[in-house]
Structure 1
Amino acid sequence: MNSDSFTELLQKSFRIALGATATLVEAVQDPAKQSEKFSEINGDWNRLSEDLETKGTVAEQEARRLVDSMMAQVPSPFNSPTASPHPSTTVSTVNMPKVEVGLQSELEMLTQELEVIRQEIEQLKGSSDS
């Protein structure tokens, strides 16, 4: 088996699986319509696989368009004309969320309590191993 036919087989299998998934979702949404469709096929596995592959191809194209449209909306620093030619010299800052003083002290107390509990568990493990 050459690599081209193997690749085509993998792509076809992927599309059939994708089509089967889309069909399953449709069956959950409208069971009567899907049972009617499957009764039309009536055990013709070649037709079923062709239908699923077609549906999978359509789903794949829709997913690709969705991802492409989402990627087009994300600003890319590498495509902007003001991007630095030396990315290693770029300095980025991260804004840390501001935490209220009372909440911060409560978090510190809980962290200390967790540390004490962890130490107690380690001690119990050590004494049970002896």
Structure 2
Amino acid sequence: MIDHITLRVRDLAATRDFYTRALASLGYRKAYDSVHDGVGVLGFGFDAPGIGLKIDTWFVDHTEPVSGPTHLCWRAADRHQVNAFHAAAIAAGGKDNGAPGVRAHYHPNYYGAFVLDPDGNNVEAVCHAPA
């Protein structure tokens, strides 16, 4: 089970703007935004039952080499959240890499959407529940 992930990015300001907008549709919010050991660090989290704020997505500014391209996927509660994620990520400047829809080759209820972030990472929201 993965607890958190950290990516190195070229432009923390662009990353901040993109993910603040894209991840809000999945219940995430910017939860950490500071400088640590001289490097900008940004964290996004959600309210986890029994835990409180859980930061699981981290970005570090201008650390070479940059991570990627990488594929990241967040689980959505329903298909509406997948649609909202895709729309928000595109509105935030992401590039469409797969419109919301069923990907039956993964499994019959796999409903996902894909967007390229400012660093070219393929980011996705997915719902595994039936329609």
TM-score by length of 1: 0.19
Structure of larger gyration radius: 1
TM-score by length of 2: 0.19
Higher normalized helix content (fraction of residues): 1
